[in-house]
Amino acid sequence: MSELIIVKTTEDMGRLGAEMIASEVMGNPEIVLGLATGSSPVSLYKELVRMHKEEGLDFSGVRTVNLDEYVGLPTDHPQSYRSFMNENLFDHINIDPSNTHLPDGMAEDLDGEWARYDRLVDELGGIEIQVLGIGPNGHIGFNEPSEEFSKHTMVVPLTNETIEANARFFSSASEVPREAITLDIRHIMQAKKILLVATKKKKEILKKALEGRISSQVPASVLQLHRDVTVIFSEEE
Ligand code: F6R
């Protein structure tokens, strides 16, 4: 069953999303959280940090797996997804860094790396709750519109639309990496719960994903087949 919650501000979206994650963490202190980067979950992470600092929300046993990482950006590059997660969440909570996982976009053997990451998620027992944003083209993770839904973690070329959309984080579009390693649709769909956060600028694509035909050309539309999806939509840009 899926639930759509519409809130006024991005702050409300973050607060509600964080409450959902916090109650899962309190219910299972060793939970495996699936995490996303990008602007959509920033307010959610900010609120989780506040809950940790002011209310003692405990992350000491929590394990995390991120959806994706750019290929070719060193871990300490300011735009790597590892840097994003450290800055927005991990550095401000009591999580054990060795329990935080992202694909290694600098691995020499990229095929070996996606296979390792794919196995890792299974070895952790799968994802309890997966946080998602949605791309302007309907991608989730970096599962871009394509002929079929992906069944394993993989290295993917980014579409021009995604490169343009992500150029805002770099000094120019030419600096955006052309490839990423992404967790696949199968792993996302196997998460027990899904929490998708999106703001006003995603209104059209979100409607298409939630109400349109299920198609790998709109990857997020597959979520219509998941039994426990919560979408929090902020009416603010
Ligand atoms: C990020 C990710 C992407 C983003 C999507 C939306 O880890 O997997 O699918 O969630 O590109 O990005 P924002 O939130 O920046 O609009």
Give the domain ranges of the chain: 3-200
Residue 144 annotated as catalytic: yes
Residues in the chain predicted with pLDDT less than 70, given as ranges, are 1
Query: Residues for the chain: how many in total?
Result: 237
Spacing, Cα 31 to ligand 1 middle (Å): 22
Cα torsion 141, 147, 148, 150 to 10°: value is: -40
* Set 47, 52, 66, 68: catalytic member: 68
166 vs 173: CA distance, rounded Å: 8
Calculate how far, in angstroms, residue 34's C-alpha sits from the geometric centre of ligand 1.
Answer: 13
68 is catalytic: yes
pLDDT at residue 1, as a whole number: 59
Q: What is the fold of 3-200?
A: Rossmann fold (3.40.50)
Structure tokens at 150: 């992906």
pLDDT of residue 222: 98
Q: How far apart are CA 183 and CA 48, in angstroms?
A: 23
pTM: 0.97
Whether residue 189 contacts residue 2, with contact meaning beta carbons closer than 8 Å, is answered with no
Query: Which numbered atom of ligand 1 lies nearest the CA of 66?
Result: 7
Measured in angstroms, how far is the CA atom of residue 135 from the centroid of ligand 1?
6
Determine the atom of ligand 1 nearest the C-alpha atom of 166: 15
